[in-house]
Amino acid sequence: MAIRNRVLTLFFFFFTLFSAAFSQSLVTDLVKDGIMKAKLGDYKAAKLSLDRAVALDSMRIESYYNRGVVRSELKDYKGAIADFSRVIYLKPSYPEPYFNRALAKDYLKDYAGAIYDYSKAISIKADYVEAYLNRGLAQFDLGNYKDASDDFTRALQYRPNYPAALYNRGLARFNLNDYENSIADFNDAIKYDTVSPEYFSSRGAAKAAAGYFEDAILDFSVTIKLLPFDVNPYLNRALACLYLKQYQAAYDDYSKVIEIDPYNTEAYLKRGVTLQYMEDVMGACEDWKKADELGSEMGKAYFEKYCTR
């Protein structure tokens, strides 16, 4: 299964604020400067401007908020959490600081804390689609696949054609062994996004798990066209070919993996198994010996069992 991408919504905005008259104009200019530099990708310079804005006026919400955005981009997630927490303290009725603090917690793998903040954002904004999606992803990372699926469904209630929600619900249902509905979700996701290779790869995995090996091979083949130098779809297609006893096709795919990655122990191990099915014991032993040399315990076990008589 593919790695899932969280939705990142880090906004730059201004509130209408109270502020000391002597510094209001300068602080506004510093925040605008920070925003401009951040949009140009110069996050370190942006942070310096926003640091000055915070130092001049500790009550300006946009200074903390935008510095939290910049800190997130700089992967200073603890600093980002501190800034978003300050915004929440000053203006607890706005959903975005909760969302962004949750996102920072996500990256720190504090999934329970992220779920709490996504839930707070949703309590303020009931149709917050991205918050449902990301809360579902945090539930997924905790292994709560049913809760994850429910959150993706909620996201789809507000945005029915949202491919990310369809795809991730498909992943959750796959992990619940609900392969038919998983395939249905991947089918729908692909209707709206025909170029994401992980959609085809994941649908292929679900089809294989459901026993539809020929259809799985078709999806893995599409994935290979989209990612010709990624070994995983070749490995997946080869395994499906093995189940169908298409040994030459499986051999060819494992050989392609080795061509791309000469140190791939799984390919040597399973190509050896394929050669055993093809009654080429000598070739199988050569592959298992190579897998053993690369550190595969299973390769060593196969070689000792079948090749040392």
Token pair, residue 192, equals: 């709206």
pLDDT on residue 25: 85
Indicate the pTM of the whole model. 0.90
Which tens digit of pLDDT belongs to each residue from 150-207?
Answer: 999 999 999 999 999 999 999 999 999 999 999 999 999 999 999 999 999 999 999 9
pLDDT tens, residue by residue, 57-90:
999 999 999 999 999 999 999 999 999 999 999 9
On the 0-12 / 13-18 / 19+ scale of CB atoms within 10 A, 202 is buried
What whole-number percentage of the chain has pLDDT above 70? 92
* Cβ atoms of 19 and 220 closer than 8 Å: no
DSSP state of 195: S
Query: What local confidence, expressed as pLDDT, does residue 204 receive?
Result: 98
Mutual orientation of helices 231-243 and 213-226 as an angle, nearest 10°?
160
Residue range 201-226: mean pLDDT, rounded: 98
Q: What is the mean pLDDT of residues 251-280?
A: 98
pLDDT category of residue 3 using cuts at 50, 70 and 90? very low
CA 226/CA 293 separation, integer angstroms: 32
Alpha-carbon span 127 to 124, nearest angstrom: 9
pLDDT at 5 over 90: no
Res 194: pLDDT: 96
Residue 179: C-alpha distances to residues 167, 186, 196, 202, 218 (Å): 13, 10, 20, 11, 17
Residue 23: pLDDT band by 50, 70, 90 thresholds?
A: low
- CB-based burial label for 114 (10 Å; 0-12, 13-18, 19+): buried
Indicate the Cα dihedral angle 20, 73, 107, 196, nearest 10°.
130
Domains for the chain: give ranges and CATH numbers.
6-108 (1.25.40.10)
pLDDT band at 10 (very low <50, low <70, confident <90, very high): very low
The pLDDT value given to residue 22: 43
Q: Which two tokens stand for residue 48?
A: 């310096």
Mean pLDDT, to the nearest integer, of 5-34? Answer: 61
Kindly state the average pLDDT of the residues 223-236: 98
Q: What is the pLDDT of residue 100?
A: 94
Instruction: Give the residue from 136, 135, 194 showing the smallest Cα distance to 170.
Output: 136
**Burial category of 4 from C-beta neighbours within 10 Å (exposed 0-12, middle 13-18, buried 19 and up):** middle
Q: What is the pLDDT of residue 308?
A: 86
d(CA 244, CA 242): 5
Report in angstroms the alpha-carbon separations of 33 from 27, 242, 243, 259, 279.
10, 60, 60, 51, 71
Sequence-distant (≥ 6) Cβ neighbours of residue 168 within 8 angstroms: 4, 133, 136, 137, 140, 148, 152
Provide the pLDDT for residue 75.
96
Residue pair 166/185 in contact (Cβ under 8 Å)? The answer is yes
- DSSP for 229-265, written as a single string: T-HHHHHHHHHHHHHTT-HHHHHHHHHHHHHH-TT-H
Whether 21 has a pLDDT exceeding 50, the answer reads: no
Q: Is the pLDDT of residue 113 over 60?
A: yes
